[in-house]
Amino acid sequence: MTAMESKKRGILERLDAGEVVVGDGGYVMQLERRGYVKAGHWTPEAAVEHPEAVRQLHREFLRAGADVMQTFTFYCSEDKLELSGNVKTISGAQINDAACNLAREVADEGGALVAGGVSQTPCYVQSHNETEVKAIFKKQMDDFLKKDIDFLVVEYFEHVEEAVWAVEVLKTSGKTVAATLCIAPQGDMHGVPPGECAVRLVKAGADIVGINCHLDPLTCVQTVKLMKEGLEKAGLKAHLMIQPLGFHTPECNLGGYVSLPEFPFALETRAMTRWDIHKYAREAYNAGIRYIGGCCGFEPYHIRAIAEELATERGFLPPASEKHGLWGAALEMHTKPWVRARSRREYWEKLLPASGRPKCPSMATPATEH
Protein backbone atom coordinates (compact mmCIF):
# COMPACT_ATOMS: atom_id res chain seq x y z
CA MET A 1 0.00 0.00 0.00
CA THR A 2 1.37 3.40 -0.87
CA ALA A 3 1.05 6.59 1.12
CA MET A 4 -1.65 7.68 -1.32
CA GLU A 5 -3.75 4.58 -0.88
CA SER A 6 -3.99 5.12 2.86
CA LYS A 7 -5.38 8.56 2.21
CA LYS A 8 -8.84 8.30 3.52
CA ARG A 9 -8.14 6.07 6.49
CA GLY A 10 -8.32 7.54 9.95
CA ILE A 11 -5.64 7.54 12.60
CA LEU A 12 -7.17 4.67 14.56
CA GLU A 13 -7.70 2.58 11.47
CA ARG A 14 -4.04 2.94 10.71
CA LEU A 15 -2.84 2.23 14.21
CA ASP A 16 -5.29 -0.61 14.73
CA ALA A 17 -3.90 -2.19 11.57
CA GLY A 18 -0.46 -2.08 13.13
CA GLU A 19 0.86 0.55 10.75
CA VAL A 20 3.58 2.99 11.66
CA VAL A 21 2.28 6.54 11.64
CA VAL A 22 5.02 9.12 11.18
CA GLY A 23 4.35 12.37 12.98
CA ASP A 24 5.57 15.77 11.87
CA GLY A 25 8.35 17.79 13.49
CA GLY A 26 8.54 20.93 15.58
CA TYR A 27 7.00 24.10 14.22
CA VAL A 28 7.65 26.86 16.72
CA MET A 29 11.39 26.45 17.09
CA GLN A 30 11.98 25.92 13.39
CA LEU A 31 9.81 28.92 12.49
CA GLU A 32 11.67 30.97 15.09
CA ARG A 33 14.87 30.25 13.17
CA ARG A 34 13.16 31.12 9.93
CA GLY A 35 12.05 34.45 11.38
CA TYR A 36 8.33 34.01 12.01
CA VAL A 37 7.92 33.06 15.66
CA LYS A 38 9.08 34.99 18.68
CA ALA A 39 10.91 32.91 21.28
CA GLY A 40 9.61 33.41 24.80
CA HIS A 41 5.89 33.02 24.39
CA TRP A 42 6.17 31.07 21.13
CA THR A 43 2.70 32.00 19.87
CA PRO A 44 1.52 30.87 16.39
CA GLU A 45 0.27 34.10 14.81
CA ALA A 46 2.43 33.34 11.77
CA ALA A 47 -0.45 31.19 10.51
CA VAL A 48 -2.22 34.47 9.80
CA GLU A 49 0.73 36.79 9.25
CA HIS A 50 2.89 34.58 7.04
CA PRO A 51 0.86 31.62 5.81
CA GLU A 52 3.42 30.89 3.08
CA ALA A 53 6.06 30.14 5.73
CA VAL A 54 3.82 27.80 7.69
CA ARG A 55 2.57 26.13 4.52
CA GLN A 56 6.12 25.55 3.35
CA LEU A 57 7.16 23.91 6.61
CA HIS A 58 4.07 21.68 6.50
CA ARG A 59 5.04 20.66 2.98
CA GLU A 60 8.57 19.84 4.02
CA PHE A 61 7.35 17.57 6.80
CA LEU A 62 4.86 15.94 4.44
CA ARG A 63 7.54 15.41 1.85
CA ALA A 64 9.77 13.97 4.57
CA GLY A 65 7.19 11.30 5.30
CA ALA A 66 4.82 12.73 7.90
CA ASP A 67 1.39 11.12 7.92
CA VAL A 68 -0.08 13.81 10.13
CA MET A 69 -0.12 17.58 9.83
CA GLN A 70 -0.66 19.13 13.23
CA THR A 71 -2.36 22.49 13.04
CA PHE A 72 0.02 25.30 13.90
CA THR A 73 -2.00 26.26 16.97
CA PHE A 74 0.48 25.74 19.79
CA TYR A 75 -0.24 27.97 22.79
CA CYS A 76 -3.21 29.34 20.84
CA SER A 77 -5.49 29.80 23.82
CA GLU A 78 -6.88 33.28 24.38
CA ASP A 79 -5.28 33.66 27.80
CA LYS A 80 -1.86 32.76 26.47
CA LEU A 81 -2.16 34.99 23.41
CA GLU A 82 -3.12 37.93 25.55
CA LEU A 83 -0.34 37.29 28.03
CA SER A 84 2.24 37.11 25.27
CA GLY A 85 1.55 40.55 23.87
CA ASN A 86 2.62 39.17 20.50
CA VAL A 87 -0.73 39.55 18.80
CA LYS A 88 -2.62 42.77 18.91
CA THR A 89 -5.04 42.61 16.03
CA ILE A 90 -5.34 38.91 15.47
CA SER A 91 -7.66 36.71 17.50
CA GLY A 92 -7.11 33.12 18.54
CA ALA A 93 -10.07 32.14 16.42
CA GLN A 94 -8.44 33.68 13.35
CA ILE A 95 -5.23 31.77 14.00
CA ASN A 96 -7.06 28.50 14.54
CA ASP A 97 -8.99 29.02 11.34
CA ALA A 98 -5.94 29.88 9.27
CA ALA A 99 -3.89 27.06 10.77
CA CYS A 100 -6.57 24.50 9.99
CA ASN A 101 -6.72 25.69 6.39
CA LEU A 102 -2.97 25.41 5.98
CA ALA A 103 -2.74 21.96 7.52
CA ARG A 104 -5.65 20.69 5.43
CA GLU A 105 -4.32 22.14 2.22
CA VAL A 106 -0.95 20.48 2.60
CA ALA A 107 -2.29 17.24 4.09
CA ASP A 108 -4.43 16.78 1.02
CA GLU A 109 -1.38 17.03 -1.18
CA GLY A 110 -0.16 13.74 0.26
CA GLY A 111 -2.90 11.74 1.93
CA ALA A 112 -2.01 12.96 5.41
CA LEU A 113 -4.34 13.49 8.30
CA VAL A 114 -4.97 16.77 10.09
CA ALA A 115 -4.77 16.92 13.86
CA GLY A 116 -6.01 19.93 15.79
CA GLY A 117 -3.82 20.53 18.79
CA VAL A 118 -4.40 22.13 22.17
CA SER A 119 -1.69 22.72 24.75
CA GLN A 120 -1.41 23.67 28.42
CA THR A 121 -2.77 27.03 29.55
CA PRO A 122 -1.44 29.75 31.84
CA CYS A 123 -4.90 29.67 33.40
CA TYR A 124 -4.34 26.23 34.92
CA VAL A 125 -1.31 27.32 36.92
CA GLN A 126 -2.83 30.66 37.90
CA SER A 127 -6.38 29.70 38.77
CA HIS A 128 -6.38 25.93 38.97
CA ASN A 129 -10.08 26.35 38.18
CA GLU A 130 -11.42 23.39 36.23
CA THR A 131 -14.36 25.27 34.79
CA GLU A 132 -12.25 28.13 33.48
CA VAL A 133 -9.59 25.89 32.05
CA LYS A 134 -12.10 23.62 30.38
CA ALA A 135 -13.81 26.63 28.84
CA ILE A 136 -10.57 27.56 27.17
CA PHE A 137 -10.19 24.11 25.66
CA LYS A 138 -13.84 24.12 24.60
CA LYS A 139 -13.38 27.42 22.78
CA GLN A 140 -10.36 26.17 20.82
CA MET A 141 -12.11 22.87 20.08
CA ASP A 142 -15.11 24.70 18.71
CA ASP A 143 -12.78 26.58 16.36
CA PHE A 144 -11.44 23.26 15.14
CA LEU A 145 -14.84 21.71 14.71
CA LYS A 146 -15.78 24.39 12.23
CA LYS A 147 -12.99 23.06 10.01
CA ASP A 148 -12.15 19.76 8.37
CA ILE A 149 -9.89 18.06 10.86
CA ASP A 150 -9.38 14.33 11.40
CA PHE A 151 -8.54 14.04 15.08
CA LEU A 152 -7.44 16.04 18.09
CA VAL A 153 -4.18 16.17 20.02
CA VAL A 154 -3.72 17.24 23.62
CA GLU A 155 -0.01 17.98 23.82
CA TYR A 156 2.68 19.63 25.91
CA PHE A 157 1.13 19.25 29.35
CA GLU A 158 3.33 19.20 32.46
CA HIS A 159 0.43 18.34 34.76
CA VAL A 160 -1.59 15.25 34.01
CA GLU A 161 -4.60 16.77 35.75
CA GLU A 162 -4.84 19.56 33.20
CA ALA A 163 -4.33 17.07 30.36
CA VAL A 164 -7.18 14.97 31.72
CA TRP A 165 -9.42 18.03 31.70
CA ALA A 166 -8.43 18.68 28.10
CA VAL A 167 -9.16 15.10 27.08
CA GLU A 168 -12.53 15.23 28.81
CA VAL A 169 -13.46 18.35 26.85
CA LEU A 170 -12.14 17.13 23.51
CA LYS A 171 -13.83 13.75 23.78
CA THR A 172 -17.17 15.52 23.67
CA SER A 173 -16.39 16.18 20.00
CA GLY A 174 -16.69 12.53 19.14
CA LYS A 175 -13.27 12.73 17.50
CA THR A 176 -10.32 10.51 18.25
CA VAL A 177 -8.13 12.12 20.91
CA ALA A 178 -4.40 11.65 21.38
CA ALA A 179 -2.70 12.98 24.53
CA THR A 180 0.98 13.55 25.11
CA LEU A 181 2.61 14.93 28.23
CA CYS A 182 5.98 16.71 28.34
CA ILE A 183 7.18 14.88 31.42
CA ALA A 184 10.26 12.98 32.56
CA PRO A 185 10.47 9.33 33.64
CA GLN A 186 10.19 10.60 37.22
CA GLY A 187 6.66 11.77 36.55
CA ASP A 188 4.64 14.94 36.09
CA MET A 189 5.10 18.20 38.00
CA HIS A 190 2.96 16.88 40.84
CA GLY A 191 4.99 13.69 41.01
CA VAL A 192 2.41 11.45 39.34
CA PRO A 193 4.46 8.68 37.69
CA PRO A 194 4.12 8.06 33.93
CA GLY A 195 2.25 4.79 34.33
CA GLU A 196 -0.39 6.45 36.48
CA CYS A 197 -0.56 9.42 34.08
CA ALA A 198 -1.30 7.07 31.20
CA VAL A 199 -4.02 5.34 33.14
CA ARG A 200 -5.69 8.62 33.99
CA LEU A 201 -5.57 9.82 30.40
CA VAL A 202 -7.01 6.63 28.99
CA LYS A 203 -9.71 6.56 31.62
CA ALA A 204 -10.56 10.13 30.62
CA GLY A 205 -11.02 8.93 27.06
CA ALA A 206 -7.69 9.28 25.28
CA ASP A 207 -7.30 6.79 22.44
CA ILE A 208 -3.59 7.40 22.04
CA VAL A 209 -1.19 8.41 24.82
CA GLY A 210 2.46 9.26 25.02
CA ILE A 211 5.11 11.88 25.44
CA ASN A 212 6.20 14.98 23.55
CA CYS A 213 8.90 17.65 23.84
CA HIS A 214 11.10 18.55 26.89
CA LEU A 215 13.55 15.63 26.75
CA ASP A 216 15.65 13.74 24.29
CA PRO A 217 14.33 10.82 22.24
CA LEU A 218 15.76 7.92 24.23
CA THR A 219 14.56 9.41 27.52
CA CYS A 220 11.11 9.90 26.06
CA VAL A 221 11.05 6.29 24.81
CA GLN A 222 11.81 5.31 28.39
CA THR A 223 8.90 7.35 29.70
CA VAL A 224 6.48 5.93 27.13
CA LYS A 225 7.60 2.45 28.19
CA LEU A 226 6.63 3.33 31.75
CA MET A 227 3.24 4.51 30.48
CA LYS A 228 2.80 1.24 28.63
CA GLU A 229 3.62 -0.76 31.76
CA GLY A 230 1.16 1.31 33.74
CA LEU A 231 -1.60 0.60 31.24
CA GLU A 232 -0.81 -3.10 31.15
CA LYS A 233 -0.92 -3.34 34.93
CA ALA A 234 -4.27 -1.55 34.91
CA GLY A 235 -5.60 -3.82 32.17
CA LEU A 236 -6.10 -0.85 29.86
CA LYS A 237 -5.28 -0.50 26.19
CA ALA A 238 -4.26 2.51 24.12
CA HIS A 239 -2.01 3.28 21.23
CA LEU A 240 1.37 4.79 22.05
CA MET A 241 2.76 8.00 20.63
CA ILE A 242 6.05 9.84 20.92
CA GLN A 243 7.22 13.24 19.70
CA PRO A 244 10.45 14.05 21.58
CA LEU A 245 13.00 16.84 21.33
CA GLY A 246 15.59 16.72 18.56
CA PHE A 247 18.29 17.60 21.08
CA HIS A 248 20.62 15.69 23.38
CA THR A 249 19.63 16.46 26.97
CA PRO A 250 21.27 13.79 29.13
CA GLU A 251 21.60 16.00 32.19
CA CYS A 252 18.01 17.24 32.30
CA ASN A 253 15.73 16.68 35.19
CA LEU A 254 11.99 17.23 35.68
CA GLY A 255 12.17 20.72 34.24
CA GLY A 256 13.26 19.48 30.84
CA TYR A 257 15.34 21.46 28.42
CA VAL A 258 13.92 24.76 29.59
CA SER A 259 16.24 24.31 32.57
CA LEU A 260 19.33 24.06 30.40
CA PRO A 261 21.53 27.15 30.20
CA GLU A 262 21.40 26.86 26.41
CA PHE A 263 17.62 27.19 26.17
CA PRO A 264 16.41 28.59 23.84
CA PHE A 265 19.14 30.41 21.93
CA ALA A 266 22.20 28.19 22.09
CA LEU A 267 20.86 24.69 21.61
CA GLU A 268 22.61 24.14 18.28
CA THR A 269 25.40 22.00 19.62
CA ARG A 270 22.88 19.60 21.16
CA ALA A 271 21.05 18.96 17.88
CA MET A 272 20.49 15.38 16.81
CA THR A 273 22.01 14.11 13.60
CA ARG A 274 19.87 12.08 11.22
CA TRP A 275 21.76 9.02 12.44
CA ASP A 276 20.72 9.69 16.02
CA ILE A 277 17.15 9.69 14.72
CA HIS A 278 17.56 6.33 13.02
CA LYS A 279 18.49 4.88 16.40
CA TYR A 280 15.58 6.62 18.08
CA ALA A 281 13.06 5.45 15.51
CA ARG A 282 14.20 1.86 15.93
CA GLU A 283 14.06 2.05 19.73
CA ALA A 284 10.61 3.60 19.65
CA TYR A 285 9.40 0.93 17.26
CA ASN A 286 10.89 -1.83 19.37
CA ALA A 287 9.14 -0.39 22.41
CA GLY A 288 5.82 -0.91 20.66
CA ILE A 289 5.22 2.74 19.84
CA ARG A 290 3.59 3.20 16.44
CA TYR A 291 2.93 6.94 16.24
CA ILE A 292 6.46 8.27 15.97
CA GLY A 293 7.29 11.92 15.30
CA GLY A 294 9.21 14.81 16.76
CA CYS A 295 8.89 18.13 18.51
CA CYS A 296 11.24 21.10 18.99
CA GLY A 297 14.51 20.53 17.15
CA PHE A 298 13.00 18.11 14.63
CA GLU A 299 13.59 19.51 11.18
CA PRO A 300 12.27 17.90 7.99
CA TYR A 301 15.38 15.75 7.54
CA HIS A 302 14.89 14.28 11.00
CA ILE A 303 11.37 13.22 10.07
CA ARG A 304 12.76 11.73 6.87
CA ALA A 305 15.20 9.73 8.98
CA ILE A 306 12.28 8.17 10.89
CA ALA A 307 10.62 7.29 7.61
CA GLU A 308 13.85 5.86 6.20
CA GLU A 309 14.64 3.78 9.29
CA LEU A 310 11.15 2.30 9.19
CA ALA A 311 10.85 2.08 5.39
CA THR A 312 10.75 -1.72 5.46
CA GLU A 313 8.04 -1.78 8.09
CA ARG A 314 6.02 0.86 6.25
CA GLY A 315 6.67 -0.52 2.78
CA PHE A 316 7.73 2.74 1.14
CA LEU A 317 10.12 5.65 1.27
CA PRO A 318 8.97 9.26 1.58
CA PRO A 319 9.15 11.67 -1.38
CA ALA A 320 12.14 13.53 0.11
CA SER A 321 14.22 10.37 -0.05
CA GLU A 322 14.63 11.00 -3.76
CA LYS A 323 17.11 13.64 -2.58
CA HIS A 324 18.90 11.42 -0.08
CA GLY A 325 21.10 8.39 -0.41
CA LEU A 326 20.34 5.97 2.40
CA TRP A 327 23.07 5.95 5.03
CA GLY A 328 25.27 8.33 3.08
CA ALA A 329 25.12 6.40 -0.21
CA ALA A 330 25.12 9.67 -2.16
CA LEU A 331 28.77 10.14 -1.25
CA GLU A 332 29.99 7.07 -3.09
CA MET A 333 30.85 9.06 -6.21
CA HIS A 334 32.68 11.85 -4.39
CA THR A 335 36.04 12.86 -5.84
CA LYS A 336 37.84 12.59 -2.51
CA PRO A 337 38.45 9.03 -1.29
CA TRP A 338 37.99 9.95 2.37
CA VAL A 339 34.54 11.33 1.58
CA ARG A 340 33.65 8.22 -0.40
CA ALA A 341 34.55 6.22 2.70
CA ARG A 342 31.60 7.92 4.39
CA SER A 343 29.02 6.31 2.10
CA ARG A 344 28.44 3.41 4.50
CA ARG A 345 26.03 2.81 7.33
CA GLU A 346 28.78 1.58 9.65
CA TYR A 347 30.67 4.86 9.25
CA TRP A 348 27.79 7.03 10.39
CA GLU A 349 26.61 4.68 13.09
CA LYS A 350 30.03 4.67 14.73
CA LEU A 351 30.87 8.33 14.28
CA LEU A 352 31.18 10.36 17.45
CA PRO A 353 30.79 13.88 16.07
CA ALA A 354 33.13 16.53 17.40
CA SER A 355 31.76 19.89 18.44
CA GLY A 356 34.65 22.04 17.24
CA ARG A 357 34.20 23.87 20.55
CA PRO A 358 37.11 22.90 22.81
CA LYS A 359 36.34 25.57 25.37
CA CYS A 360 32.82 24.28 25.93
CA PRO A 361 31.84 21.47 28.29
CA SER A 362 29.88 18.45 27.18
CA MET A 363 27.31 18.68 29.96
CA ALA A 364 25.68 21.66 31.63
CA THR A 365 24.09 22.13 35.03
CA PRO A 366 20.31 22.47 34.68
CA ALA A 367 18.81 25.42 36.52
CA THR A 368 16.89 23.48 39.11
CA GLU A 369 19.89 21.57 40.38
CA HIS A 370 20.94 24.72 42.21
Query: Do 284 and 276 touch, CB atoms closer than 8 A?
Result: no
Applying CB under 8 A, does 323 fall inside the site for a second copy? yes
Residue 203 binds to a second copy (criterion: CB under 8 A)? no
Alpha-carbon distance of 193 to 223, in angstroms, equals 9
Cβ(129)–Cβ(186) under 8 Å?
Answer: no
No. of H helices and E strands in the chain? 16, 8
Closest separation between CB of residue 185 and a second copy, Å? 17
Say if residue 295 carries a ligand binding annotation: yes
State which of residues 269, 316, 326, 344 lies at the interface with a second copy (CB under 8 A).
269
Shortest distance (Å) from residue 17 CB to a second copy: 27
* C-beta of residue 292 within 8 angstroms of C-beta of residue 285: yes
User: Binders of a second copy among 326-345, rule CB under 8 A?
Assistant: 328, 330-331, 333-336, 338-339, 342
| Interaction pattern, residues 148-187, with a second copy; x per rule: CB under 8 A | ----------------------------------------
Q: Helix 130-145 and helix 160-171: axis angle, to 10°? A: 40
Q: Select 316 or 348, whichever has its Cβ closest to a second copy.
A: 348
Nearest residue to 274 via CA among 204, 351, 178, 214? 351
Residue 296 annotated as lining a ligand binding site: yes
Binding mask 216-235 for a second copy (x = CB under 8 A): x-------------------
Q: State the Cα–Cα distance between residues 54 and 13, nearest whole angstrom.
A: 28
DSSP structure class, residue 251: T
- Smallest distance, Å, CB 367 to a second copy? 4
* Residue numbers 78-97 binding a second copy by CB under 8 A: 85
Say whether residue 270 binds a second copy (CB under 8 A): yes
Nearer to a second copy, 95 or 199 (CB): 95
Among 262, 311, 316, 326, binds a second copy (CB under 8 A): 262
Does residue 10 interact with a second copy by CB under 8 A? no
DSSP per-residue string spanning 20-83: -EE----SHHHHHHHTSS-TTT---THHHH-HHHHHHHHHHHHHHT-SEEE-S-TT-SHHHHHH
Which residue positions form the known binding site?
Answer: 213, 295-296
